[in-house]
Structure 1
Amino acid sequence: MNQTTAGVADDLDPDIRRFQREMAAAYGRYPDFDRLPLTERRRIAEEVRAPWAAGGPVMHSTETLNVGPFGVRIRIHRPDARQVLPALIYVHGGGWTLFSLDTHDRLMREYAARAGVAVVGIDYSLSPEAKFPRALDEIVSVVRWLRSEGAAHGLDPQRIAIGGDSAGGNLSVAANLALLRDGDAPLSAILVNYGAFDRESVYPSYERYDGPEYNLTTAEMAVFWANYLRGAQDFSDPLASPMRAEVAGLPPTFFAVAACDVLADENRAMADRLRAAGVPVMLREYAGATHSFLEAVSISPLADRAFAEASTWLAAQISANNDNDSQ
């Protein structure tokens, strides 16, 4: 999400380094970016991300609806003509503050095509206008809508996974924790792409990969957490910082870890916590990858491999031939 690059990161995959440079050059057209009003920064972020969200798999159909008590806008991508499809709810990243269904549209279509599932993108309310737990409440409301009304839209309510990147990874885990808190069954699986799980930046990766050449910085994460949380009353809330949660009962979880990311260590730590609680975990670490590297799939074999590995795992969790979604 950074707008400048301070040098060459020799440990980056060459294609990811190219992605970083091109993103930095695009943001570099706006040297006063950090001083612009948030609405303008959001508009620029959409513009910069647009070329990377273009292309990729063509869907059989795409539908936009407003659903649930909050009237949340969702986008449903269907990869083929099957009348009933399992579904992946996808929650975009952006520090709870930026980005949209459009910036992450290619990511959603990649998963739909590769895993053979419908992908339901959620246009949740952004911070700081909407503080915790508004976005989480909206996502849980979409889960409940899918369970009660999804069949009428060709979506199997018994085979629903959830996933997201960065803040979206946080919200995906928190949505399952909220379901468990309320006595509801968790979803069939969780897909985490370089998630944000702990407000405290106490991990070595925060120092090692803190710099614009690695995309996401410690200072940016501090701003994002400040935007998202209402104040000190939320700092230890496990639905805000899932690293503090009791995680037993969560469904099988896939972690895609970008090795050159300030969030790398907390993803490893979160995976360890789930394993210790008896949750089935698949963790794949991508050497040379930065935060947001999946967006480089149009030029990066590394991102292509990450999509392929996650999609194979996801299909095994919620495919039509899987009789036990929790295994």
Structure 2
Amino acid sequence: MTSPPFPDDDVDPEIRDWLTQMFAASAALGSRPGMPWEELRAIAEKQREPWRTGGPAMFATEDLSIGDHAIHIRIHRPIEAEALPILVYLHGGGWTLFSTDTHDRLMREYAARAGIAVLGIDYRLAPEHRFPAGLDDVVMVLDWLRADGPSHGLDPACYALGGDSAGANLALAAAIRQRDAGLPGPAALLLNYGAFSRASYPSYDRYGDGDRYMLTGPEMDTFWDAYLGPEHTGDPLAEPLCADLKGLCPAWLCVAQCDVLLDENREMARLLAEAGISVDCHIYDGATHSFLEAVAISTLATKSIAESAEWLTEKLQ
């Protein structure tokens, strides 16, 4: 499939091909602004079907429902072991879309490359379940992990929190909640192109063209409205750029250059370092928002996953 004729295109060619296929699938499935959330979710699941299959095989995969709200979790174990370190991974989608299914291949890639278990969470979605419902679900799963993880081959004393976009927001907020509650926190934070502030930055203007890039400013406004309601709350657990970041664990930031969230990720890296946190911030030239989902065809996505998996392996030893 040929890419659009953008003579000054700053997107990596393989990512551009992925975007072209994603945009075509969205149009073919009838996606349009203003659709009911249930319909948008169904379209998003179908759009991502080709990208969630293939990739590494697991030794075992387990699906469970836990807690009062019967939250679905999926556990991938790449090898047989009594107690594996864990990456608790939170899918993106603006707090409103996606699932452990849409992100299944990405989770398996991390599991296989880092040699760890990956636990994905289908937290409750907005706007039906606004902040802090999704965050509450993540914290509940961490409580479950401490109590019941060992019976599922997981080592609750050795875990990382990670996610992409809205999932990175939830991962960082959950780490802050654990710290403030005096509970065992993660050994590492894997933050992939996170949404950390409701404010817009210059990168919104530079990379907000919906015909050329994956995410736009108006889309982010819609996601924030769905998650928090139309009023700005200023709650640091909703907008971690406002939070006290001291005392957190080391963090890896995977940042896409061609992304409206570029500037707030740079700012988050700066604030973490200022708070005394060890930060590895990697800006991937030519990458767009969500680019890790293109791992089936993207050398750049493969490189990023491999680099962060190596870092996770080191932090979870």
Would you call these one fold, judging by a TM-score over 0.5?
yes
Q: Structure 2: which amino acid aligns with 1:224?
A: F
Give, in whole Å, the separation in 1 of the partners of 2:27 and 2:95: 23
Could you say which residue in structure 2 is the equivalent of 1:36?
A: 35
| Aligned with residue 259 of structure 1, among 257, 260, 264 | 257
Structure 1 runs not aligned, ≥5 long? 320-327
Give, in whole Å, the separation in 2 of the partners of 1:78 and 1:32: 35
Q: Calculate the aligned-residue CA RMSD, in Å.
A: 1.4
Could you say which residue in structure 1 is the equivalent of 2:95?
A: 96
Kept after mapping to 1: 8 A contact 2:31/2:43: no
Kept after mapping to 1: 8 A contact 2:253/2:281: yes
Could you say which residue in structure 2 is the equivalent of 1:174?
A: 173
Q: Structure 1: which amino acid aligns with 2:168?
A: G
Give, in whole Å, the separation in 2 of the partners of 1:20 and 1:109: 22
**Cα shift at 1:21:** 0.5
**Cα shift at 1:29:** 1.0
2:164 equivalent to 1:165: yes
Deviation string 1:59-106 (CA, Å, 9 cap, x unpaired) is 000001112344321000000111210000000000000111100000
2:139 equivalent to 1:140: yes
**Cα shift at 1:275:** 0.4
Kept after mapping to 1: 8 A contact 2:76/2:119: yes
| Aligned with residue 316 of structure 1, among 307, 314, 317 | 314
**Cα shift at 1:187:** 1.1
Could you say which residue in structure 1 is the equivalent of 2:205?
A: 207
State the secondary structure of the residue aligned to 2:111.
Answer: helix
Could you say which residue in structure 1 is the equivalent of 2:58?
A: 59
Give, in whole Å, the separation in 2 of the partners of 1:36 and 1:285: 33
State the secondary structure of the residue aligned to 1:28.
Answer: helix
Give, in whole Å, the separation in 2 of the partners of 1:295 and 1:286: 14
| Aligned with residue 296 of structure 2, among 277, 295, 298 | 298
Could you say which residue in structure 1 is the equivalent of 2:107?
A: 108
**Cα shift at 1:151:** 1.1
Change (3 A) 1:291 1:268: same
Kept after mapping to 2: 8 A contact 1:168/1:195: yes
State the secondary structure of the residue aligned to 1:159.
Answer: strand
Q: Structure 1: which amino acid aligns with 2:265?
A: N
Kept after mapping to 2: 8 A contact 1:296/1:303: yes
Structure 2 runs not aligned, ≥5 long? none
**Cα shift at 1:231:** 4.8
Kept after mapping to 2: 8 A contact 1:89/1:119: yes
What TM-score, normalized by structure 1, do the two folds share? 0.93
Give, in whole Å, the separation in 2 of the partners of 1:111 and 1:318: 13
Give, in whole Å, the separation in 2 of the partners of 1:127 and 1:107: 23
Give, in whole Å, the separation in 2 of the partners of 1:35 and 1:244: 30
State the secondary structure of the residue aligned to 1:76.
Answer: strand
**Cα shift at 1:182:** 1.6
Change (3 A) 1:223 1:7: farther
Kept after mapping to 1: 8 A contact 2:84/2:116: yes
State the secondary structure of the residue aligned to 1:249.
Answer: coil
Could you say which residue in structure 1 is the equivalent of 2:74?
A: 75
Deviation string 1:186-207 (CA, Å, 9 cap, x unpaired) is 2111101000000111x21111
Could you say which residue in structure 2 is the equivalent of 1:269?
A: 267
Q: Structure 1: which amino acid aligns with 2:294?
A: A
Give, in whole Å, the separation in 1 of the partners of 2:263 and 2:213: 15
Q: Structure 2: which amino acid aligns with 1:128?
A: P
| Aligned with residue 238 of structure 1, among 236, 239, 259 | 236
What TM-score, normalized by structure 2, do the two folds share? 0.96
Kept after mapping to 1: 8 A contact 2:168/2:192: yes
Kept after mapping to 1: 8 A contact 2:198/2:239: yes
Give, in whole Å, the separation in 2 of the partners of 1:6 and 1:199: 31
Kept after mapping to 1: 8 A contact 2:173/2:237: yes
Give, in whole Å, the separation in 1 of the partners of 2:138 and 2:291: 24
Following superposition of structure 1 onto structure 2, how do residues 120-159 of structure 1 map, counting pairs within 5 Å? 120-159=119-158
Give, in whole Å, the separation in 2 of the partners of 1:254 and 1:215: 22
Q: Structure 2: which amino acid aligns with 1:305?
A: K
Q: Structure 2: which amino acid aligns with 1:200?
A: A
